Structures are given as structure tokens and as C-alpha cells.
Structure 1
Amino acid sequence: MPTLRTSEVDLVQNNKALEINLDLLEERREEAAIREAKSKAKMKSRSKDTGKLGPKWERPYEVTEALGKGAYKLRDHDGKQLP
């Protein structure tokens, strides 16, 4: 039993619309890659900012001792003990 949805579909027009979407897919991917690169560049420049809301450390650190209740002794990459 045909439904309104299946009876109103024009298969030729639908296939043409799908072909157009496939043709535009590569362009949309390129635009997304450009937006992603811009976003990453913006985030990279923001990480260099200092101040009250800036990062407290800049490189990886190592946990040397667990003091309890979420407190740890940390050492940076150069071996310097962090406060």
C-alpha cells in the first residue's frame, strides 16, 4: 500500500539532488579543513598568552609522590620540583 511519502517522491529529481550533494562534498570537506586549521592556529596563539587565566605550566610534568586527597608532588621535564 503506497503512502503519501512514497507516492510524492520523484526518483529522477531525488537522484539529481544526490549527485549534486556528492559533487559538493569535496568542497565542503576542504572548507571544514580550513576552518579546523584556523581554529587550531587561534588556540595555539591563545596558549601563549599569560596572565590570570593563562596556563600555570607549559610542558609535561611527572608525578613523583601522591600526598593524598588529590595533592601530588610534581617534577617538570628538567627535573625541577614544582610547588
Structure 2
Amino acid sequence: MPGCTAPAIWPAAFPTAPFDGDLPLFTADEEIPGYRRDPLHLPGAWRPHVGGRLWVHGVPDHHYRMMREESLARIGPVPAAALDRARS
């Protein structure tokens, strides 16, 4: 797929309208030693794309470990609770 090696260009290449609603955003609280955090991973980069409230949830891990079991145990309850609230 063309452009897969340059994700920073994706927003310009595929413009979308802002999401008109609240959005939970999960961010890594830890830095990767020797790695400069990508500005696209920060909450401020998402703000222009969300019409509602941006709910930021810090995960005590670094970006590349957020899909591990320990991190998912912290992430999973957030959307689960939102779905429960929407059903009631």
C-alpha cells in the first residue's frame, strides 16, 4: 500500500470531517528510552478532529506496549463502562 511508511501524511492524504461526539483517547504515560515522542501521539493533536469532549486516559506503559495484557486490563473497562451507560 503506498504511503504505509509515512503515517504522518495520512491526515493530509485522507481528510475527514471532525468526529461529532465525545472520544476516549488512551495515551502512554511512559517514555521509551532514547525515543522522542511523536507529536501525533499527544492529546493536542486529536483536538481538531473531535467535536465533543476528548476524554484522555493515561496508561502506565509506553506506546509500543499498550496492546499487552497488562495495559489492556486498564483500557478495556473504559469502553465497557461507556457501553453499559449507553445501554441503560
What TM-score, normalized by structure 1, do the two folds share?
0.26
Q: Greater CA radius of gyration, 1 or 2?
A: 1
What TM-score, normalized by structure 2, do the two folds share?
0.25
Looking at secondary structure, tell me which structure has more strand per residue: 1
Pick 1 or 2: higher relative contact order, CA cutoff 8 A, min separation 6.
2
Looking at secondary structure, tell me which structure has more helix per residue: 1
